Amino acid sequence: MAWLMVLFVPPLYLLLQKKPLAAIFNLILCILAGATIFLFGIGLLFWALAIGHASWHMRKQLMRENAEIIAEKMAAKLVEKKIELIGIKNEDTSSRVSPENLPPPTTAPELPVRPAPRQYAETPVVRAEPKFCEDCGVKVDDDSKFCSDCGALIAV
């Protein structure tokens, strides 16, 4: 029924949903649609905007209602799980167990302390001794293959 109202009388739907400003805006769109229906179909555009506006509000309302239903069901399941975990049996199923009736939560058992990883001895850093040219005795870089002074081949 509500969808029919959204399709054919969107301002009335919004008024019944207690959205007066949205209903006024939607009424303006409907009046523009009626006034311009004969001008190359521009009125259909305004009518589509009015329907879209009303259906947007309807969708928001339905989503809100569904979210409330889901939240209530989740809260009921949570209370049931809490009752199961604590071990309380409720013989009278007609009365609900409230959070005030639940015993205080127990503290978690202390876990054993894990020992810190043992310290490893530092490995000594091996440093290569500097290289010297065998012909002229000049100090040579570690990665060079020839002497920079005399040009002789450096032995590896």
Gyration radius of the chain over CA positions: 41
Residue type at 139 in one-letter notation: K
Q: What are the structure tokens assigned to 57, written together?
A: 């509000």
Contact by Cβ (8 Å): 57, 64: no
pTM of the model: 0.47
| Phi then psi dihedrals of residue 130, to 5 deg | -65, 150
From the CB of residue 2, how many other CB atoms can be counted at a distance below 10 Å? 14
User: What is the pLDDT, as a whole number, of residue 133?
Assistant: 85
Residue type at 62 in one-letter notation: L
From the CB of residue 134, how many other CB atoms can be counted at a distance below 10 Å? 13
pLDDT tops 70 at residue 68:
yes
User: What is the pLDDT, as a whole number, of residue 100?
Assistant: 65
User: What digits encode the pLDDT tens for the residues 75-118?
Assistant: 888 888 877 777 655 444 445 556 666 666 666 667 776 665 65
What residue ranges do the domains of the chain occupy?
2-89
User: What is the pLDDT, as a whole number, of residue 94?
Assistant: 46
d(CA 61, CA 120): 65
Contact by Cβ (8 Å): 150, 136: yes
